[in-house]
Amino acid sequence: MNIVVHDYACHPFTLELANHLAKKGHSVNYLFSKQINLTGSYYKKFKHKNLKLAPITTKKKIEKFNFISRRFIEKEYGKISWKKIKSIKPEFVFLVNLPIDPLYFLIKKCKISNFKTIFWIQDIYYLAIKNKINNIPVLGRLISKYYELIEKKCSKLSYKNIFISLNYKKFFPINKTKNYVIENWVPLEAKNYHKGDKRIEKQLKINNKFTFMYTGTIGLKHQYENLILLAKSFPNKNVIVLSVGKFADILKEHSKYLKNLRVYPFASYQELPKYLFFADVTLVNLKNDSSDVCVPSKILTYCTLSKPILASMPKLNPASKIILNNKMGLVSNPNDNSSYLNDAKILISNKKLRNKLSNNTFKYAKTNFNIHSIYKKFNKIIK
């Protein structure tokens, strides 16, 4: 089959799927935004003869927090994407992580051309929009309602829909014959990181101290304030953040007087395990309004590297349920600072518990991240 996998942010798991589809004899084109790409040059490691990698660049850089400018650039991105897809003439098009405007544009265009689209729903964008602008009188509610209708229409027009959590089904029209649930994963690469990289250890200024570590994006849905709280409450422990952007810059300002809080740019996906090697406990923080719209992939990366998790996030969040049900870490509700700090204290003092949680995280990864088993689920959709 001729297949397009279009992941706006170029996640490792979609790359692994595209590569596995190529190994199975399919002709696969992998499209992504070169400017939004979250994994650096990681995509270059995939070199199967049946796989073609196609980074897409717009004339202007996407400004994440300038919503008007961002919308125009995202529409341009949709048009560029369509030219590539149209020239490929695929049988199936997986659409992952695309903003609503280019997503809707591509689904309509593909339907006209009889290309079967698979809407792979990672985040429910209209809920995120609603949470941010619904307080603007009249206009905010109109805009959020518009995007709700459009995103739901995308699911109706698509040939198939993939939800990464069963929770997501309640937000979209029910159609049992076209809706599937496939949870996200992370490539399970067997690498030996038992020997810490001295260069990285020196760069991070570990100094043999207990280390909390946060990796990945910090956006509007993330509660970055908890990282400051953690650093203030445990001045003799490291709180290391690997991130960039507006909120990472805010943390940098605080690090001027909180010497144990240190902020560094993203590590490339290939290098990330070498950084996480030095984490005694890994971190994830989400606000209350993210309960049904976010399943942070960072916890899956933490699992592959056998790291215990300290989480501040809604207990109803699908990721919270994964952590709690599999006993991979401790979870407190957002804004419950007392419980959050108490959980941190427990993890600092109880090495036996940390080891148990570590073993459980890797057990979860081994059980759920096998690409051969995962491929069978996708094969049912395209066969």
**How crowded is residue 121: how many other Cβ atoms within 10 Å of its Cβ?**
24
Question: What's the pTM value of the predicted model, to 2 decimals?
Answer: 0.89
Give the mean pLDDT of the chain.
90
Counting DSSP H helices and E strands in the chain, the numbers are 14, 13
Closest CA to 101 of 71, 70, 66: 71
Position 191 scores a pLDDT of: 52
Give 277's pLDDT tier (boundaries 50, 70, 90): very high
Q: Is 75 helix (H, G, I), strand (E, B) or coil?
A: helix
Query: Residue 32: phi, psi to the nearest 5?
Result: -165, 165
Confidence class of residue 90 from pLDDT cuts 50, 70 and 90? very high
Summarize pLDDT for 178-230 with one digit per residue, the tens.
Answer: 999 999 999 987 555 556 789 999 999 999 999 999 998 887 778 899 999 99
Q: Output phi, psi for 229, to 5 deg.
A: -60, -45
Ordered structural domains, the chain, with CATH: 2-182 (3.40.50.2000), 198-368 (3.40.50.2000)
| Mean pLDDT of all residues in 20-29 | 97
In the predicted model, is pLDDT for residue 248 greater than 90? yes
Q: Give the per-residue pLDDT at 177.
A: 82
What's the pLDDT tens digit per position in 309-328? Answer: 999 999 888 889 999 999 99
More confident residue, 220 or 262: 262
Token reading at 134: 């619904």
Q: Is 241 helix (H, G, I), strand (E, B) or coil?
A: strand
User: Which letter does DSSP use for residue 186 in this model?
Assistant: -
Q: How confident is the model at residue 63 (pLDDT cuts 50, 70, 90)?
A: low
pLDDT at 82 over 60: yes
* Low-confidence winner among 4-18, 60-74, 297-311 (lowest mean pLDDT): 60-74
Question: What 3-state DSSP class applies to 146?
Answer: helix
